[in-house]
Amino acid sequence: EAGVTQFPSHSVIEKGQTVTLRCDPISGHDNLYWYRRVMGKEIKFLLHFVKESKQDESGMPNNRFLAERTGGTYSTLKVQPAELEDSGVYFCASSHPGQGSSGNTIYFGEGSWLTVV
């Protein structure tokens, strides 16, 4: 079974440009999450989709970040325009539906490393 896959694995862009990160969750996983780790900081929650709906987007830093999950399959996270402080690793994760009440096993991808110069 394929795991959570993310693309691109690495991206270097200039300040002011746009970058779109893609995440393909494990097949059948309705829950999809985005997390971010800025250099030297802890991993922080960005948002949570249940199928195509945003369940919780309390961690999105500002309106330069836009996440979508059309059709409830893969998701994209767009940063527009990118700023220097957006540099970091963006992790996508997914889990089965209905696991929340029993303690989630959340499966993470390898991350997308974003460097804004």
Q: Under the rule (CB under 8 A), what is the footprint of another protein?
A: 3-4, 31, 33, 35, 41-45, 48, 50, 55-56, 59, 91, 93, 95, 99-111
Residue number, 16 or 97, with CB nearest to another protein: 97
Residue number, 17 or 44, with CB nearest to another protein: 44
* Distance between CA atoms of residues 42 and 35, nearest Å: 10
4 residue type, one letter: V
Place of tokens 């889990």: 95
* Cβ 45 to another protein shortest distance, Å: 5
Residue number, 41 or 71, with CB nearest to another protein: 41
Q: Give the H or E element holding residue 83.
A: none
Residues in the chain: 117
Residue number, 8 or 100, with CB nearest to another protein: 100
CB neighbour list of residue 85: distance below 8 Å, 6 or more residues apart? 38, 116
* Cβ 80 to another protein shortest distance, Å: 25
